[in-house]
Amino acid sequence: MISGGLFDVEGKKEELKTLETKVNDSAIWDNPEKAKEITESLSNLKKTIETYNNLLNELNDLEEIITLELDEEMVKEVENKLLDINNHLEKIEIETLLNGKYDSFNCYLEIHPGAGGTEATDWAGMLLRMYKMFASKNNYTFEIIDLQDGEEAGIKSATVRISGNYAYGYFKSEAGVHRLVRISPFDSSKRRHTSFAAVSIIPEIDKEVNVIIKDEDLKIDVYRSSGKGGQSVNTTDSAVRITHLPTGIVVTCQNERSQIKNKATAMKILISKLEQLEIEKQEKHLNSLKGSSNIDFGSQIRNYTLEPYKLVKDVRTNYETSNTDKVLDGDIMPFMEAYLKR
């Protein structure tokens, strides 16, 4: 039952050896951030292998038990134990599916509302809250890089850095257009409205990638932060906007007091976006990582219906739940897992 399946224990052991070799290399500690990522990956992999071995031992014990004559209570106990082992196995298999080139990387999450004014910006704000709550419940670090508030409610745009175990691998399922149907709290006539917001997920690429950026290809603007910053954040020209002229990609960062730090973060995001663009060109499907750019009817990946009934349904996997409040409070792991299994 466990010795086969998707989990390649020998492959994981080889991966463990590779990570241990990197950790034991003193040069890796010259880059504390990189060293932290490798040690976290090593720790997570050790836990996965340990869990696998424990499950295998438990299964062997159960195989011996079921050869005995069991009463009804013992049969029920064995069935419950098998169910528990199966649930743990499914989690391990999900991690095995996270084998993409960038799945183990941290990522950037961007949210942009579609047309529709306050209704759309409010929906974008609801999505930002959903992802923040998911991150909190699943031990991900949620760092806002850039945030533009809506005029009446919600947000005009947001860029967030998400770090943690297989951040990109899990969050890549969220790339695309999200559609909300509800009775609008902004409509005095209490009519039903449909809103859209686009979510982009970009893996955080290391600087070692072969991305060449010429100084003359960049337009760099500095301005005063418009967010709800702390001391000095929105009183000096610390916010940075970088435009990559050949591609038209625009990156903004305003979360730090230092213009230098904001510029460094913006450049890091730009490098990640340019690397992603190259991947998309090579694979000949421009929206494979970032999702569709059409924020309207027919382009959505997931529907959130609050009226006239409650249902959240993913168009790609057909996974659905009627517990809409739970989803909007960050319970989206089942959607992510369904996407990985499809």
- pLDDT tens digits along 8-38: 667 777 888 888 888 888 888 888 877 877 8
User: 236, 245, 231, 227: which is closest to 156 by C-alpha?
Assistant: 227
Instruction: Note the pLDDT of residue 4.
Output: 45
> In sequence order, what are the beta bridge partners of 291?
none
Quick check: pTM over 0.75? no
Instruction: Note the pLDDT of residue 122.
Output: 95
Contact 252, 271 (CB under 8 A): no
CA angle 250, 253, 255 (to 5 degrees): 165
Q: Where are the domains of the chain?
A: 9-97, 105-342
Instruction: Note the pLDDT of residue 338.
Output: 93
- pLDDT tens digits along 156-207: 999 999 999 889 999 999 999 999 999 988 887 888 899 999 999 999 886 5
- pLDDT tens digits along 263-281: 888 888 888 888 878 777 7
9-97 and 105-342 share one fold: no
Q: Give, in words, the CATH class of 105-342.
A: alpha beta
Q: In which residue ranges of the chain is pLDDT below 50? A: 1-4, 229-233, 285-287, 292-293
| CATH fold of 9-97 | Methane Monooxygenase Hydroxylase; Chain G, domain 1 (1.20.58)
Instruction: Note the pLDDT of residue 206.
Output: 66
For residues 200 and 231, give the distance between their C-alpha atoms in angstroms, rounded to a whole number.
Answer: 30
Residue 150 CA to its chain's centroid (Å): 23
Instruction: Note the pLDDT of residue 235.
Output: 55
